[in-house]
Amino acid sequence: MQTPSVIIVLVALCLASFFFGRKRSETLALREGGYSSLHSLPKHYGYMAAAWAAIPALLILLVFTVSEDRYIQDAVIAQLPGAIQTLPAEQLGLYYNQVLGFAQGGIDGQELDETQLSAARYYQQLASQFSMVKAAGVFLAALIGCLLVLKGIHTRLRARNHVESIIQWVLFGCSFIAVVTTLGIVLSVLFEAIRFFQVIPLTDFLFGLEWSPQMAIRADQVAASGSFGFVPLLVGTLLISAVAMVIAVPVGLMSAIYLSEYATRRFRAITKPVLEILAGVPTVVYGFFAALTVAPFIRNLGESVGLSVASESALAAGIVMGIMIIPFVMSLSDDIINAVPDSLREASLGMGATLNETIRKVLLPAALPGIVGGILLAVSRAIGETMIVVMAAGLSAKLTANPLEAVTTITVQIVTLLVGDQEFDSPKTMAAFALGLVLFFVTLLLNVIALYVVRRYREQYE
């Protein structure tokens, strides 16, 4: 039986368990003098029976589904002739995939030899046996679970509490997914990155000044290994982020000051949502805007004053990234400025300071730690931003601080290394995971520092 049909039968079994459970509790209740003699409502007994039918059965189904492919693969390979079994892992994988494709009806058998055909038949036989066992195991578990509950039902059984504790565990499981996700991210990038660092030494990666991940196709080719120096990527990333900050911080901060201190309520009510549209625009749209409008504009502008500007200049990508981050800086600074106690503001105004003196000499110094925290969050945004730089920044890693030249970033390299066909074990793909690891930890560090600074700042005025 296939997994979907197993699940359908299992759902039917659970429904049946629910009705039996409810019926059984009702029968017991009537025998002992009415529903009031039951601890819980009849439906709770039904839920309990259904839950006990479903949970063990689902666990068994999970175990079988996960182990199915590997078990069958090992068994099929084990009965292949010895000469084939000793093939290198890649060729054996290819060989087995042909068998698999034929057995599942994906390819026709004309290109396969006799051993493969018999292996395919063996595969089909094994697979059908395995799914029989799987279905039997699942149904048996469901039946046993259900029967145990049915047998255990008596009027004082605290079925509701039981069901509710199961549901609480489910709730806990849902929130624990966040931890599992983080763990998954760390493990998946770390695992590949460690394999990468076995090939390329960590110091070469961290301090190398050249990045050209083109690996040779043949081992005897000149320059057989690419160079994986991370410094040019870091410089490029920081350059573009710096340009973005030069745009986003003054505009965002001044807008926030104007809107919270000077603007009328109505002006603020209209302006803020409109500016926040900028935050809702998908990044791919910004990328298109940067690559096809801003970059040519800047190049023409540069040429008209006699500067040579690369067509994929860091300036174009940075400016557009800055536009994207404006609302982010604005709403963070707005929150921070509003958190400054009114007493400070009133004291300064009461002494006869003008509003701008109050803002510059009292509000901003008081809000400075919070604003710095907000800017750090914005920087982490800029470093992790992908689509704008993929579309508007360059591919070649150049070590330069000139924003008119083309530079590349960490995210651009991750995308170029991983998009398209590639074998999974080459240093090129593993390099992408190493970059991912760096990216994850740099942004994590920035966020942790920023959140800590902002929290300390808030606590100061609470």
Binding piece for another protein, criterion CB under 8 A, among 28-36, 98-106, 169-177, 209-217: 169-177
Contact status: 443 vs another protein (CB under 8 A)? yes
> One symbol per residue from 306 to 345: x for binding another protein (CB under 8 A), - otherwise; what is it?
-----------------x--xx--x---------------
Contacting another protein (CB under 8 A), which of 3, 124, 271, 426? 271
The answer to whether residues 116 and 99 touch, using CB atoms and an 8 Å cutoff, is yes
Binding piece for another protein, criterion CB under 8 A, among 56-64, 116-124, 176-184, 215-223: 176-184
The answer to whether residues 451 and 370 touch, using CB atoms and an 8 Å cutoff, is no
The answer to whether residues 235 and 209 touch, using CB atoms and an 8 Å cutoff, is no
Contacting another protein (CB under 8 A), which of 156, 277, 306, 350? 277
Contact status: 398 vs another protein (CB under 8 A)? no
Number of residues lying near another protein (CB under 8 A): 89
Contacting another protein (CB under 8 A), which of 130, 440, 449, 458? 440
Contact status: 174 vs another protein (CB under 8 A)? yes
The answer to whether residues 159 and 39 touch, using CB atoms and an 8 Å cutoff, is yes
Binding piece for another protein, criterion CB under 8 A, among 14-22, 30-38, 261-269, 302-310: 261-269
Site for another protein in 354-383 (CB under 8 A): 354-357, 359-360, 377, 380-381, 383
Residue 70 or 218: the one with the smaller Cβ distance to another protein is 70
Contacting another protein (CB under 8 A), which of 7, 335, 447, 449? 447
**Which token pair is 214?**
């083109």
Contact status: 285 vs another protein (CB under 8 A)? yes
Contact status: 236 vs another protein (CB under 8 A)? no
Instruction: Kindly state the smallest distance separating residue 79's Cβ from another protein, in Å.
Output: 23
Contacting another protein (CB under 8 A), which of 3, 131, 386, 426? 386
The answer to whether residues 259 and 237 touch, using CB atoms and an 8 Å cutoff, is no
Residue 142 or 409: the one with the smaller Cβ distance to another protein is 409
Instruction: Kindly state the smallest distance separating residue 360's Cβ from another protein, in Å.
Output: 8
**Which token pair is 246?**
């030069």
Residue 207 burial (C-beta neighbours within 10 Å; 0-12, 13-18, 19+)? exposed
Residue 217 burial (C-beta neighbours within 10 Å; 0-12, 13-18, 19+)? exposed
Residue 130 burial (C-beta neighbours within 10 Å; 0-12, 13-18, 19+)? middle
Q: Which residues contact 117 (CB under 8 A, 6 or more apart)?
A: 102, 109
Contact status: 281 vs another protein (CB under 8 A)? yes
Contacting another protein (CB under 8 A), which of 242, 246, 415, 449? 415
Which residue has tokens 């039996």?
A: 20
Q: What Å distances lie between residue 92 and 11, 20, 78, 247, CA to CA?
A: 40, 52, 12, 56
Torsion of CA 245, 250, 251, 257, to 10 degrees: 130
> One symbol per residue from 191 to 230: x for binding another protein (CB under 8 A), - otherwise; what is it?
xx--------------------------------------
- Position 140: which residue type? L
